[in-house]
Amino acid sequence: MLLRNEELEAIKKETGFSHSQIARLYKRFTTLDKEENGTLSREDFQRIPELAINPLGDRIISAFIPDGEDQVNFRGFIRILAHFRPIDAKSKDGNGSEPLNSRINKLRFAFQLYDLDKDDKISRSELLQVLHMMVGVNIPDEQLGVIADRTIQEADQDGDGAISFTEFVKVLEKVQIEQKMSIQFLD
Amino acid sequence: MLRAALPLLGLPLAGAGAAEEPTQEPGSWGEPPPGLTLFRWQWHEVEAPYLVALWILVASLAKIVFHLSRKVTSLVPESCLLILLGLVLGGIVLAVAKKAEYQLEPGTFFLFLLPPIVLDSGYFMPSRLFFDNLGAILTYAVVGTLWNAFTTGAALWGLQQAGLVAPRVQAGLLDFLLFGSLISAVDPVAVLAVFEEVHVNETLFIIVFGESLLNDAVTVVLYKVCNSFVEMGSANVQVTDYLKGVASLFVVSLGGAAVGLVFAFLLALTTRFTKRVRIIEPLLVFLLAYAAYLTAEMASLSAILAVTMCGLGCKKYVEANISHKSRTAVKYTMKTLASCAETVIFMLLGISAVDSSKWAWDSGLVLGTLFFILFFRALGVVLQTWMLNQFRLVPLDKIDQVVMSYGGLRGAVAFALVILLDRTKVPAKDYFVATTIVVVFFTVIVQGLTIKPLVKWLKVKRSEHHKPTLNQELHEHTFDHILAAVEDVVGHHGYHYWRDRWEQFDKKYLSQLLMRRSAYRIRDQIWDVYYRLNIRDAISFVDQGGHVLSSTGLTLPSMPSRNSVAETSVTNLLRESGSGACLDLQVIDTVRSGRDREDAVMHHLLCGGLYKPRRRYKASCSRHFISEDAQERQDKEIFQQNMKRRLESFKSTKHNICFTKNKPRTRKASRKKKDGVANAEATNGKPPRDLGFQDTAAVILTVESEEEEESDSSETEKEDDEGIIFVARATSEVLQEGKFSGSLEICPSPRIIPPSPTCAEKELPWKSGQGDLAVYVSSETTKIVPVDMQTGWNQSISSLESLASPPCTQAPTLTRLPPHPLGTEEPQAPLDLSSDPRPSFAFPPSLAKAGRSRSESSADISQQQELQPLMGHKNHTHLSPGTANSHWCIQFNRGGRL
């Protein structure tokens, strides 16, 4: 275990992972880190075979890597993963800040996968790109175009032809995000 | 099958049979009749099927009666009412025949009544939800059922040891375990009947319901093992027998599931090749599913599991392969059969309870059993939930647990199993029967009655019925991918990992193998949702289109629902796109030829004269193909009528606008305003007829921004309101221009023009009939267009399928159209307008809205295209309606041939 204790505590506080979970994730992190320089590069992620065939794989890798950098350290890595912790009812952390795995933060993460230019809006072209990745070649472009149009119109409330984060949250308010954006982390 | 079902109904209907028999026998069965008899009464030959039909009829009528009063059915579950009805009927039968008849026979129950219910629930099981909760479901089904069986059996035995059960109940530990195994299983029929009316949230529902389906394997195994142990006698049971019992649990459950999956595979594969024999598709579904049930039953595997897996496994592929109509047929037949079987089961249960000869009452046993099944069910649920919550993302809370415990209804399966016991081997059978009946009645009636108030009182999260939205579908897909990716990153192969694997495998191999190429190509869930939304909109549009039209003549169906100023509602948008075609139609009238004129006259004659008998003209009937059934034709007709009327009225307004701008009208539809704007611009100061090129160009300019439209709206509002007065003028002007001399002849005919649109308008529908836009035209047109066009017509309006099959993109279309230079002579680029007509078919042009509002950037191009097409040249009419994707090739004739 190469993590220092105070660092461990900080991570625990920030992410809500348990000690053993952090240890397990750290092990995974070092396994992925082929260059052994304490950071994960894009290539490290791409070496995960399943991720390579995930239609949104590239987007997700990008989500791990902070803006303007090309690598992510363990803190950043585990911070992202913390978004997917199941929501536990009792752990409302006292310091007022929203925990990383809150509903809104889960949604924010998903939203950012769409929002490439970070203008806090999913534009038609951004949506179309994601659609392209997800449905593959089965559906011709025109159909995707219609779907994208209709999707935007469905969510669009202020009429700007794009989906803002508020609209995104609104349109998904009936969805059990707690369940659909959480995975079970092993201890 | 009916013969076999005979035991179910037992002897002939007591009253009828007894009364009838003496009188008829001399005639039909006695000495040979002296000669030809005028009447022969042959009750015995039809007795069995007649009784089956009669009972089902009685059950169905009872259902109707129950539902006459909404108040009763909202308070009392149907199953309770049916059981009570059964009790009454049983009493009557008993009183009349002096012996109990028509009881629920295990053979009939397992072979005929149970399969439809299970198939229905398996086939319509929300598979994603099911697999998401599979862990919990399996735990409750396997561990829970074992727990219930053993604890209940053992506790009853303890009760007997304690002397609380009368000594005349001769049963050992094994007998009690056997009884425990049959009484412990939650019954799918009862659960479904009650929970479907309660509407708890879907997770809770799927857990209770899934458990009731999957515990069948455990019940069957336990029952068989215990039964054989009892028959062997406890002294002869070896250790290996216990081991065999455990092993058989796996054999029965996995074997049953495997049988189901094999048949699901066969079924999916078969439906892949039914393209030319669509009519047997529904039959195949039922036959193969039933075959799965019988096969599993034959091999003493879990038949319920087999059918469940068959339904669950085949659905995706079958639905993709079979036609839309077959899908509806499958759905309704399945629901009908299941509901029928359910009704009969509950009714017969009630009747069977009356037969006191089978019963032997022991209060200790009955009360003990009631208490134990409730107590151990609750205890088991709490223990298992506590365990499961360690792993669940969304833990099941206390309220959920209460509902789950209380929802453990016992039903006909337990009853059928207890009837099957062998009295010589199980001396206490009569006591068990009585106890089972009481338990079943108590759970179905008491718990069934109280669960609704309980759910309300506990404020259990109810299921929310919301329409599927594209956003949800899309984003949930995204979530799935994200979760799969995160699991990959974490390196933990969990549920999402395997789901993702399965989806890959399914996409790569299974779907390719089991789905039709055409179905596979367009198969995508996102697209599916889009398709469904489209159909829903179309249906609601037709529904509401009728009265709106009749009341105001020209209002838009979408008006009332429009509340956003921005008009971003999807439906509206789609409607607008639909109206695009309408615009096309208007412009068409600039082109006329002698031949057209003749046809026009013909058309109007036919229109006036042949309208009513029209329906009969297609009287052909085939056993193997359903060409177009009446219902569908009627739908089409309504649709076309609406379209036509709208077209006409719009037309007239449009013309009016051009001429006067005085009368303000009080139309509130913003859409209308827009249209008005466009129209006004287009026709400003120009004779209406000239709506050709230059005018359209003007239109294009005007529609560029919403603000502009809005500023104009007041003006347009006024313009909108020219009366019909001007129509005449428009017509005359047309005539003056000499473009369409033929119209003169047409106009005088009073019949043709009931709402008094211009002649040009009259022709529109017909003209379009020749071209691709035939959809909007009443079907008379088909009579006068060439045969090939008729086929085109038929194809085009084939079904709702066609409605959505083509990817109808407005935007792509727009971009695809090269901006033709104005005035080009007949460029005749067959434009694939598939995108346009489709939505337009779905959403009849509420007003000629030709995608105006949407065409911010590309407006000009599209507008030009839309306004200028000339259709129906003789030489072009033979364009065959294209493939599924592009039924509609519109030929644009640029220059017009004036």
Chain A residues whose CB is inside 8 A of the B477 CB are 134
Mean pLDDT for A148-153 is 84
Identity of the residue in B487, B526, B570 whose CB atom sits nearest the CB atom of A183: B487
CA dihedral over B665, B668, B673, B675, signed as positive or negative: negative
pLDDT digits over B497-550, tens only? 888 888 888 888 888 888 877 766 555 666 777 777 777 778 877 777 544 444
Distance CA B538, CA B639 (A): 10
Is the pLDDT reported for residue B26 higher than 80? Answer: no
Least confident of B54-63, B211-220, B721-730: B721-730
Residue B554, pLDDT above cutoff 50 = no
DSSP state of B235: G
Share of chain B above pLDDT 90, in %: 11
Q: Which residues contact B823 (CB under 8 A, 6 or more apart)?
A: B693, B894, B895
Give residues 450 to 489 of B whose Cβ lies within 8 Å of A: 464, 466, 469-472, 474-489
Instruction: Please give the full DSSP string across B266-327, using - where no structure is assigned.
Output: HHHHHHTT-TT-GGGHHHHHHHHHHHHHHHHHHTTS-HHHHHHHHHHHHHHHHHHHS-HHHH
pLDDT at position B747:
39
- β-strand A121-122 against B830-832: which pairing, if any? unpaired
Can you give the pLDDT at residue B620? Answer: 52
> How far is it, in rounded angstroms, from Cα A140 to Cα A151?
17
Query: According to the model, what pLDDT value does residue B637 have?
Result: 61
Quote the CA–CA distance of B50 and B34 in Å, as a whole number.
Answer: 28
pLDDT of residue B649: 64
For residue range B575-619, list pLDDT tens digits in order. 444 433 333 333 333 334 455 566 666 665 555 444 444 444 444
Backbone φ and ψ of B12, nearest 5°? -55, 155
Q: Give the mean pLDDT of B171-194.
A: 87
Nearest Cβ partner of B807 from A140, A155, A181?
Answer: A140
Q: Within 13 A of B327's CA, how many CA atoms are on the CB side?
A: 15
Would you state the pLDDT for residue B779?
A: 40
Residue reference for tokens 């028999």: B21
The verdict on B576 touching A (C-beta cutoff 8 Å) is: no
What pLDDT was estimated at residue B730?
38
- Range among B160-169, B312-321, B731-740 with highest mean pLDDT value: B312-321
- Distances in Å between the Cα of B571 and the Cα atoms of B333, B549, B807, B842 are 32, 18, 16, 10
The answer to whether the CB atoms of B566 and A56 lie below 8 A apart is: no
Is residue A64 within 8 Å of A77, Cβ to Cβ? yes
CB B761 within 8 A of CB B652: yes
Minimum-distance CB partner of A154 among B394, B469, B523: B469
pLDDT of residue A137: 65
| Cα–Cα distance for residue pair A162/B552, rounded to 1 Å | 35
Is ipTM over 0.90? yes
Of A64, A158, A174, the CB nearest to B466: A174
pLDDT for residue A128: 85
Cβ contacts of B482 on chain A, cutoff 8 Å: 56, 60, 109-110, 113, 181
- The arithmetic mean of pLDDT across residues B52-57, rounded, is 88
Whole-structure pTM value: 0.65
Segment A34-82, tens digit of pLDDT: 888 888 888 888 888 888 878 888 888 888 888 778 888 888 888 888 8
Closest residue by Cα to residue B198 from B450, B467, B466: B450
What 3 state SS string does B185-205 have? CCCHHHHHHHHHHHCECHHHH
Task: Look at residue B431 and tell me whether its pLDDT is greater than 60.
Answer: yes
Query: Does residue B571 carry a pLDDT above 50?
Result: no
Q: Which residues of B touch A151 (CB under 8 A)?
A: 470-471, 474
**C-alpha distance from residue A121 to each of A63, A117, A151, B417 (Å):** 16, 8, 14, 61
**Does residue A17 register a pLDDT over 60?**
yes
3-state helix, strand, coil in chain B (%, to 5): 70, 0, 30
pLDDT for the residue B661: 41
> Cβ–Cβ of B527/A154 closer than 8 Å?
no
Query: Which residues from A are below 8 Å from B526, CB to CB?
Result: 131, 134-135, 147
Kindly identify which residue of chain A lies nearest to residue B390, measuring between CA atoms. Answer: A184
pLDDT reported for residue B371: 92
Phi-psi region of B635 (alpha: psi -120 to 50; beta: other; left: phi over 0): alpha
3-state secondary structure of B555: coil
- Which is more confident, A174 or A3? A174
For residues B751-756, average pLDDT: 42
- Confidence at residue B286, expressed as pLDDT on a 0 to 100 scale: 93
Q: How far apart are the C-alpha atoms of B558 and B572, rounded to whole Å?
A: 7
Q: State whether B393 and A184 contact (CB < 8 Å).
A: yes
Alpha-carbon gap: A13 to the closest alpha carbon of chain B (Å): 20
pLDDT confidence bin for B154, thresholds 50/70/90: very high
Confidence of residue B292 (pLDDT cuts 50, 70, 90): very high
Six-digit token string for A120:
């806090």
Digit-coded pLDDT (tens) for B781-816? 334 444 444 444 455 444 444 444 444 334 343 434
Whole-number average pLDDT of chain B: 67
- What are the CA-CA distances from residue B494 to residues A48, A186, B390, B534 (Å)? 16, 10, 15, 36
Given A55, A175, A181, which is nearest B483 (Cβ)? A181
